[in-house]
Structure 1
């Protein structure tokens, strides 16, 4: 390899996701010469196969549900809604393309940024190969994301992933979903409301296994009320293509062999990081057993000058955590070097309808902490606003450290939960005593006004 053919930059960023793009622009503003490498569509998972397209589908599914349930609110609808998946997809594609265009224009408008298309792999600690090009920098930032994991037994079966299901232009007559966690459950409700017969097959004993059992049971109730069939404890899952079209899924439940057939199968059994595409061994990068790139509190890998951000570092698989990764790295490079990974409070949402918002510890995690705890839980059916909207499913619960009076965790599951959880999260970041929130005056009529009432009913949590 001739050194003269190497293109040298101040920084190389691999991946144009929610950490890579803002980092490229931030460094360019400081006159760094930046290369950003992207093998696929600009914007990463969020823009192309995650938040933007799926929440567009959630909105369409919600509209279909609202029409079908209008009689419950005294609105008579002459007939059931007609679902046009081509039109839904067209609307989704427009939103995605607008985001992609905005990203492309912002990168192209910066004279300091060079956008390079292709798959990057390490040559050594400072050099990367992209096609026939060799790039070199002392600072390299990995924002390579993740992809769907296809389990054994489904490799040779016609199947959909979270990416390919968004390209359908016809609602499947029936849809079997392998995996009962966030991605699987969101698509389950979307396609049930759009007209599919949906079955969710989960290997574990409960849905969304990272949540407390009480939350899992409530989520299952909501899905089953929507007409989704949920089968937990489904072991030895395997698929087989049918000659007549569609797929047969076989599994064991309670020691008995069972089968279901469906026109389409969605694989939603988790994701694997794209770190393997980088040939990380050439740079000597430390990789976990699950393929994540190991990082320290400042998101630097074991190799000085190489950082990993977003889904590929295993420190959060959300847009907001990826963007916070950017903020941490930006602070380390250009700021006062005070921000770190451990400052972040876990928070996310499950976008079924009603949604669930989570912040901090689960109840089981809090119990394992050894802290003296206060706990309160109330059903959404106790709040006037939920009754008035006709959406009383769900709950609100909070966990308090009795000694410090600070909120350790909260779960809001019900109408508006994805927004309401922010109230708890703000109090947690502010290290506020729960009593301040308890004594606050919240607007009536809102679902948020349940929070002071919830806190007034705290009781010591016993094992």
Structure 2
């Protein structure tokens, strides 16, 4: 048996920096990854999708350029060139991670599957490893709903669609979450007809109705079709190779066919192979590992970080998880995820930057609120650059005048959102931002006007 001080299972955005810090602190450490170094973010998520989305935006801009007398021909786009560029960016990121791990002193790297054999022991490549500290960062994968016939058709996931070799003639997307919105708009810009199927009354159910409606309108203007209140009851392959979906919508049965089907119906934690029960690690009803505010599991000395613990499934949250654990263990601090402000972005174009509470979340929590709204056609920078799609919205505590949350649907929406996040962290009131001096002309400058809308409330 190989004895370590610490073992990290999964080389994602928490696992890699945590393993390096543990090794640097003098602890003999092992990191185990069964697939690809860098996890979802580098290989299937942020890095590849945002690279491809950037190309889609260039295609969109080239078409708009014709409005200003600039000739362009986006019809010549080749998907193989797009995926080649994506692969280059991913490989550079992944190889950098591999190199840094190999060069870290006191860190052993295993390319294998790990499975618990006891409270602090694991079987890896047929041998036993043991450590007093074990950290699980195994992430999640696309969920595949149990729809009759789905397993018998060549469906795509958010992972496999990134290596597609043809632009779909008609891409049907099952689900309308963040992944569906990003990839749906991207392929519409590549030239695909896109249809999004959603079981609820509207897409993006976690967002406020006005924000979700604005995003839907933007995508519809780019020829993305939404079918809501839809239940898919059967999937089959037609003789011509197309995929047919049988639907019920408001009690009526319908059929829709597409050249390609993308299943974007959520994600499932990667826990099955870990044999967690042997280690005494409890999981929730959806398979996520249960943790406390310090990211400790039900088993002493075992922690769970990132998507596998059921927290917000964002790269930056996974990275922050590692900071909290590392500082608590190495620096003997007492950090917690309790009351952590959660920012995130959806990289449609324009992008959605979100932080803190939505309007409906604030009302549910019992706050007395004020809501500031400003359409982008009232934002000088948007008018000057010819892009007035979207809106700015902030939720204010009416008693303390503190910002509870914000949604910025705009070009550079994530950057403007980050300004509001810093204000929330610093306890800056909306009135201070309203009267602040921002550089002109910027999108952030319109925070003045956003909060001026509250003057008559």
For residues 358-437 of structure 1, what are the structure 2 equivalents within 5 Å?
358-437=354-433
Contact 2:24–2:105 under 8 Å retained in 1:
no
- Please state if 1:99 is matched with 2:93: yes
- Please state if 1:118 is matched with 2:105: no
**TM score, norm. by length of structure 2:** 0.97
- Please state if 1:167 is matched with 2:163: yes
Contact 1:152–1:238 under 8 Å retained in 2:
no
Q: Deviations over 1:79-105 (max 9, x none)?
A: 444111111111100110001111011
CA distance in 1, matches of 2:368, 2:252: 44
What residue is the counterpart of 2:64 in the other structure? 69
- Residue of 139, 143, 147 corresponding to 2:137: 143
Shift of 1:78: 5.2
Shift in CA distance, 445/38, structure 1 to aligned 2, threshold 3 Å: same
- Residue of 11, 14, 23 corresponding to 2:9: 14
- Please state if 1:324 is matched with 2:324: no
CA distance in 1, matches of 2:65, 2:12: 39
Contact 1:357–1:418 under 8 Å retained in 2:
yes
- Residue of 255, 258, 279 corresponding to 2:275: 279
Once structures 1 and 2 are overlaid, which stretch shifts more, 264-273 or 279-288? 279-288
- Residue of 37, 42, 49 corresponding to 1:47: 42
CA distance in 1, matches of 2:187, 2:403: 37
Once structures 1 and 2 are overlaid, which stretch shifts more, 448-457 or 262-271? 448-457
- Please state if 1:292 is matched with 2:313: no
CA distance in 2, matches of 1:312, 1:279: 14
Q: Deviations over 1:46-84 (max 9, x none)?
A: 000000000001100001101111122x13325444111
Shift of 1:435: 2.0
CA distance in 2, matches of 1:392, 1:237: 40
Once structures 1 and 2 are overlaid, which stretch shifts more, 447-456 or 234-243? 234-243
What residue is the counterpart of 1:3 in the other structure? none
For residues 93-242 of structure 1, what are the structure 2 equivalents within 5 Å?
93-153=87-147, 154-242=150-238
CA distance in 2, matches of 1:457, 1:99: 44
Once structures 1 and 2 are overlaid, which stretch shifts more, 381-390 or 76-85? 76-85
Contact 1:376–1:459 under 8 Å retained in 2:
no
Contact 2:140–2:269 under 8 Å retained in 1:
yes
Shift in CA distance, 307/80, structure 1 to aligned 2, threshold 3 Å: closer
Shift of 1:434: 2.0
What residue is the counterpart of 1:89 in the other structure? 83
- Please state if 1:35 is matched with 2:3: no
Shift of 1:324: 0.3
CA distance in 2, matches of 1:360, 1:210: 13
CA distance in 2, matches of 1:460, 1:201: 41
Shift of 1:156: 2.6
Contact 1:328–1:340 under 8 Å retained in 2:
yes
**Structure 1 runs, 4 residues or longer, greater than 4 Å off:** none
Q: Deviations over 1:324-358 (max 9, x none)?
A: 00010011101242321014112111111111110
Contact 1:374–1:459 under 8 Å retained in 2:
no
Contact 1:373–1:460 under 8 Å retained in 2:
no
Contact 1:68–1:81 under 8 Å retained in 2:
no
